Amino acid sequence: MCGICGFINNGYNKRDLYEMNQSICHRGPDDEGYYLDERIGLAQKRLSILDLSSLGRQPMSDETGTITISFNGEIYNYKQIKAELVEKGYSFKTDTDTEVIVYAYKQWGIKCINKFNGMFAIAIWEQKKNKLTLVRDRIGIKPLYYYHNGKDFAFGSELKPIIKHPKFLKNINNQAINLYLTFGYIPAPYTIYENTFKLEPGKYLIFQNNKIEISTYWDIIDIKRKCANKEVLAEKEYLEQLEELLKSSIKSRLVSDVPIGAFLSGGIDSSLVVSLMQDMSKDKVKTFSIGFNNDKFNEANYAKEIAAYLGTDHTELYITNDDLFSMVEDLVYYYDEPFYDSSSIPTMLVSKLAKEKVTVALSGDGGDELFCGYNTYDHIKTLSKFHNLPHSIRKGIGYVGGLYNKRLSQVLDYSGEISEMVLNLKSMFSKKEIRSILLNSDDLDKSINYFRPYDELKKHTILDKEMISDIKSYMVDDILTKVDRASMKYALEARVPLLDHKIVEFSLKVPLEFKMREREKKYLLKQVLYKYLPKQFTNRPKKGFSVPIDEWVNGSLKNEIEYYFSKQFVNNQNIFHYSNLNEMRMNGKLNTKQIWCIFIFQKWYKKYFVEDIT
Could you report the average pLDDT of every consecutive run of 10 residues in the chain (614 residues)? 91 94 95 94 89 82 96 97 98 95 98 98 98 98 97 98 96 95 96 98 98 97 86 95 98 93 95 97 95 76 94 94 87 96 95 97 97 89 72 61 55 66 85 92 67 68 90 97 98 98 97 91 96 88 73 90 96 96 93 96 96 57
- Cβ–Cβ < 8 Å for 429, 595: no
Q: What confidence score (pLDDT) does residue 601 get?
A: 98
* Strands ordered across the beta sheet of 493-495: 313-319, 286-292, 260-263, 360-362, 493-495
Multiple choice CATH, 232-368+480-537, 1.10.1740.10, 3.40.50.2030, 3.60.130.10, 3.40.50.620: 3.40.50.620
Task: Return the exposure string of 275-303: e unless at least 16 CB atoms fall within 10 Å of the residue's CB, then b.
Answer: bbbbeeeeeebbbbbbbbeeeebbbbebb
- Cβ–Cβ < 8 Å for 23, 12: no
d(CA 573, CA 609): 9
Q: State which amino acid sits at residue 392.
A: S
Enumerate the H helices of 184-319 as residue ranges. Answer: 220-226, 235-252, 268-279, 300-310
Q: Which residues are CB-contacts of 168 (< 8 A; sequence separation ≥ 6)?
A: 147, 154, 162, 196
Architecture of domain 2-218: 4-Layer Sandwich (3.60)
Judge whether 600 is annotated as a binding position.
Answer: no
Beta bridge partners of 148: 153
Q: Which residues are CB-contacts of 564 (< 8 A; sequence separation ≥ 6)?
A: 570, 598, 599, 602, 603, 606
d(CA 448, CA 297): 32
Q: Helix 462-469 to helix 375-386 angle, to the nearest 10 degrees? A: 150
Q: What confidence score (pLDDT) does residue 156 get?
A: 99
The gap between the terminal CA atoms of the chain, to the nearest Å, is 35
d(CA 262, CA 268): 14
Beta bridge partners of 135: 122, 204
Residues in the chain, total: 614
d(CA 588, CA 603): 22
Judge whether 290 is annotated as a binding position.
Answer: yes
Judge whether 156 is annotated as a binding position.
Answer: no
d(CA 565, CA 581): 8
Write the DSSP string, 553-598. Answer: HHTTTHHHHHHHTSHHHHHHHTSB-HHHHHHHHHTT-S-HHHHHHH
**Residues annotated as catalytic (active site), given as ranges:** 2
d(CA 347, CA 485): 9
Q: Which residues are CB-contacts of 84 (< 8 A; sequence separation ≥ 6)?
A: none
d(CA 259, CA 358): 5
| Pairing state between β 196-198 and 145-148 | antiparallel
Q: What confidence score (pLDDT) does residue 614 get?
A: 44
- Using DSSP's 3-state secondary structure scheme, residue 280 falls into coil
- Cβ–Cβ < 8 Å for 302, 537: yes
Quick one: which of 114, 92, 116 has its CA closest to 103?
92
- Helix then strand count (H, E) for the chain reads 28, 17
List the chain domain ranges: 2-218, 232-368+480-537, 375-468, 549-611
Quick one: which of 16, 83, 63 has its CA closest to 43?
16
Judge whether 97 is annotated as a binding position.
Answer: yes
